[in-house]
Chain A
Amino acid sequence: MNPTLDMVLRAVGVLVVFMVLPLTVGQAEHKVMAHMQGRLGPMYAGGFHGWAQLVADGVKFVQKEDIVPTGADRRVFQLAPVVALLPYLVVLIAIPVGPHGFVGATVDAGLFFVLAMMGVGVLGSLMAGWASANKFSLLGALRSAAQLMAYELPMLLAAASVAMAAGTVSLPGLLSAFHWWWIPWQLVGGLVFFTAGLAELQRPPFDMPVADSEIIFGAYTEYTGLRFALFLLAEYAGIVVLCALTSVLYLGGWHGPWSGSVGWLWTLVKTGLLAFVVIWLRVSYPRLREDQLQKFAWTVLIPLSLLQIALTGIVKVVIS
């Protein structure tokens, strides 16, 4: 196939996935959360069980006035939502969905690329908080930064363990080296990675940076309309990316029965299940306090990930 056309097709495909999956996760969150609380959730928009609720929300957001506070740093303020959202789009390009090159673009150091990009997403909320000229926003942004510092390390360590196991940092390469017994072997690393990812996305129970009962909505306090919607979308895109990444790194991505033909389906199913867990955790657990949050990262997650690396190293030496 013509390489340009091929690239354009892949880009369009990734874009479509990027538009559809976060909305699906958002809608699932509406419904799952409602039913976990004994409610029905949205029922009217779209007619059938409120399937179009997020579309209606989007229309509402578009209609709202786009306000920039007087004291705000205009350019940075307006740029922040894009900085928050775009990294996830870029990450999605590098995640292999199925075998035989079913991936937006093959990046050689895919694992590092992906992790670095996910870290950039947090920059968006930092920019937003600093540019808003609002003390709540600033507090939220600083909490985001502190959280990023604390949780990036265990995440990287946990990911490094997988890279060690596979002997490569390319995501498709990682997947082709995968065996089913990696799942128990890398279990601890997977848990650490997933938890740290949740914290980095500022999802409950790690949503201290947006703790609405203390600092209104953290870095996003001053945002309205479409820019606010972009931040929300970034959160859901982040969930999709985190879940996809966890399933690729620790659950074998497209591996499964008949993976030759329906491998992409396996990736989707695993991602969906993890997304459900993300929602489930949000419904079940209260928010951690800031000091608990930090303590959890430094005294639990980092030792655990170091242990995982040690375990990986030992097993690797034994089997080689």
Chain B
Amino acid sequence: MSPIPGHGLAKGLAVTLRTMTRRTVTQQYPETLPELPPRSRGVIGLFEENCTVCMLCARECPDWCIYIDSHKETTPAAAPGGRERSRNVLDRFAIDFSLCMYCGICIEVCPFDALFWSPEFEYAETDIRELTHERDTLREWMWTVPPPPALDPAAEEPKELAAARKSVDKLAAEARVAVQAPPAPAAQPASAAQPAKGATAATDANTKDATDPKDATAAKDATEPKDDKGPKDDKGGERP
């Protein structure tokens, strides 16, 4: 019970009146574009230079809406007496966005970082058939893919960085042991130190990649744990 009868009625009027004096929340969409958060799922871009036509994305897609055609090309042996190399060449890569449900599985499974989310969302068509976009359009959308946002301050270290740091630490420890051991031959500390230095350099490069927003591919490498791809690939293999 409200203390005064009609108290609730007055409250209702007050709420609407107060709302009227506030700024509205409406976004005038075509005039002002929305500010999309990072990793918005607008459309899928294809970085076709990276695609090896492994077909994983097409097989994993729950809607089977990725169409890939390819052929094999052989390159003659590089050296006389060597073996001929064969490689896949992409003929067609199309995604039917009238079927796609934006689950992102294709992007997750691609082992070669050829698929990316782009925040681009204004690709409505008047004919449903025009929603099947071919590789040139998908490639064009790559230009709209933003750099990945930096990791959260307290986020776990990327697995690649952790692995690199571990090996560096191990090598450094070995080198220290080698230096401290008096009867060791003179050559040994030097050879132990050499790879250690190389590993440090690699780690530096990795760290830079992970934080440099320009290099989307490398950063994705660094932030995405590769381990959980194993089981998924196995599942894909069981598919007809």
Q: Does B24 lie within 8 Å of A284, measured CB to CB?
A: no
Closest A-chain residue to B13, C-beta based?
A284
Q: Whole-angstrom distance from the CB of B61 to the nearest CB of chain A?
A: 39
Q: Does A283 lie within 8 Å of B26, measured CB to CB?
A: no
A175 CB-CB contact with B under 8 Å:
no
Closest B-chain residue to A283, C-beta based?
B16
Closest A-chain residue to B27, C-beta based?
A40
* Range for the number of chain B residues in contact with chain A: 10 to 19
Q: How far is the CA of A51 from the CA of B13 in the complex (A)?
A: 26
With A35-B24, A40-B26 given, is the CB distance from A285 to B19 under 8 Å?
no
Instruction: Specify which chain A residues have a CB less than 8 angstroms from the CB of B9 in the assembled complex.
Output: 285
With A284-B12, A285-B9, A285-B12 given, is the CB distance from A36 to B17 under 8 Å?
yes
Q: Does B26 lie within 8 Å of A280, measured CB to CB?
A: no
Q: Does A36 lie within 8 Å of B28, measured CB to CB?
A: no
Instruction: Specify which chain B residues have a CB less than 8 angstroms from the CB of A38 in the assembled complex.
Output: 19, 22, 24-26
Instruction: Specify which chain B residues have a CB less than 8 angstroms from the CB of A40 in the assembled complex.
Output: 24, 26, 28
Q: How far is the CA of A281 from the CA of B24 in the complex (A)?
A: 20
A29-61 to B contact mask, C-beta < 8 Å, 1/0: 000101111111001000000000000000000
Q: How far is the CA of A154 from the CA of B13 in the complex (A)?
A: 24
With A284-B13, A284-B15, A285-B9 given, is the CB distance from A36 to B20 under 8 Å?
yes
Q: Whole-angstrom distance from the CB of A231 to the nearest CB of chain B?
A: 26
* Range for the number of chain A residues in contact with chain B: 10 to 19
Q: Whole-angstrom distance from the CB of B23 to the nearest CB of chain A?
A: 8
Within 8 A of B (CB), among A19-37: 32, 34-37
Q: How far is the CA of A39 from the CA of B19 in the complex (A)?
A: 10
Instruction: Specify which chain A residues have a CB less than 8 angstroms from the CB of B28 in the assembled complex.
Output: 40, 43
With A285-B9, A285-B12 given, is the CB distance from A280 to B24 under 8 Å?
no
Instruction: Specify which chain B residues have a CB less than 8 angstroms from the CB of A37 in the assembled complex.
Output: 16, 19
Instruction: Specify which chain B residues have a CB less than 8 angstroms from the CB of A34 in the assembled complex.
Output: 24
Q: How far is the CA of A38 from the CA of B16 in the complex (A)?
A: 9
Within 8 A of A (CB), among B1-34: 9, 12-13, 15-17, 19-20, 22, 24-26, 28
Q: How far is the CA of A31 from the CA of B28 in the complex (A)?
A: 16
Q: Whole-angstrom distance from the CB of B115 to the nearest CB of chain A?
A: 38
A60-84 to B contact mask, C-beta < 8 Å, 1/0: 0000000000000000000000000
Q: How far is the CA of A32 from the CA of B15 in the complex (A)?
A: 14
Q: How far is the CA of A40 from the CA of B22 in the complex (A)?
A: 11
Closest B-chain residue to A281, C-beta based?
B13
Q: How far is the CA of A37 from the CA of B26 in the complex (A)?
A: 10
* B24: contacting residue among A39, A283, A285, CB under 8 A: A39
Q: Does A280 lie within 8 Å of B17, measured CB to CB?
A: yes
Q: Whole-angstrom distance from the CB of A303 to the nearest CB of chain B?
A: 15
Q: How far is the CA of A75 from the CA of B12 in the complex (A)?
A: 44
Q: Does A35 lie within 8 Å of B12, measured CB to CB?
A: no
Q: How far is the CA of A43 from the CA of B28 in the complex (A)?
A: 9
Instruction: Specify which chain A residues have a CB less than 8 angstroms from the CB of B16 in the assembled complex.
Output: 36-37, 280, 283-284
Q: How far is the CA of A35 from the CA of B15 in the complex (A)?
A: 12
Q: Does B17 lie within 8 Å of A39, measured CB to CB?
A: no
Q: Does B19 lie within 8 Å of A35, measured CB to CB?
A: yes
Q: How far is the CA of A118 from the CA of B26 in the complex (A)?
A: 39
Q: How far is the CA of A280 from the CA of B20 in the complex (A)?
A: 10
Q: Whole-angstrom distance from the CB of B26 to the nearest CB of chain A?
A: 4
Instruction: Specify which chain A residues have a CB less than 8 angstroms from the CB of B12 in the assembled complex.
Output: 284-285
B169-200 to A contact mask, C-beta < 8 Å, 1/0: 00000000000000000000000000000000
Q: How far is the CA of A36 from the CA of B19 in the complex (A)?
A: 5
Q: Whole-angstrom distance from the CB of B161 to the nearest CB of chain A?
A: 46
Instruction: Specify which chain A residues have a CB less than 8 angstroms from the CB of B13 in the assembled complex.
Output: 280-281, 284
B74-115 to A contact mask, C-beta < 8 Å, 1/0: 000000000000000000000000000000000000000000
Question: In the complex, which of the residues B13, B16, B19 has the most CB atoms of chain A within 10 Å of its own CB atom?
Answer: B16
Q: Whole-angstrom distance from the CB of A15 to the nearest CB of chain B?
A: 33
Instruction: Specify which chain A residues have a CB less than 8 angstroms from the CB of B25 in the assembled complex.
Output: 38-39
Instruction: Specify which chain A residues have a CB less than 8 angstroms from the CB of B17 in the assembled complex.
Output: 36, 280
* A32: contacting residue among B20, B22, B24, B26, CB under 8 A: B20
Residues of chain A whose beta carbon lies under 8 Å from any beta carbon of chain B: 32, 34-40, 43, 280-281, 283-285
- Interchain Cβ contacts under 8 Å between A and B, 6 examples: A34-B24, A35-B20, A36-B17, A37-B16, A37-B19, A281-B13
6 closest A-B pairs by beta carbon, nearest first, are: A36-B16, A40-B26, A284-B12, A35-B20, A284-B16, A36-B20
19 extra A-B contacts, CB within 8 A, seeds A38-B19, A40-B26, A284-B15? A32-B20, A35-B20, A35-B24, A36-B17, A36-B20, A37-B19, A38-B22, A38-B24, A38-B25, A39-B24, A39-B25, A40-B28, A280-B13, A280-B17, A281-B13, A283-B16, A284-B12, A284-B13, A284-B16
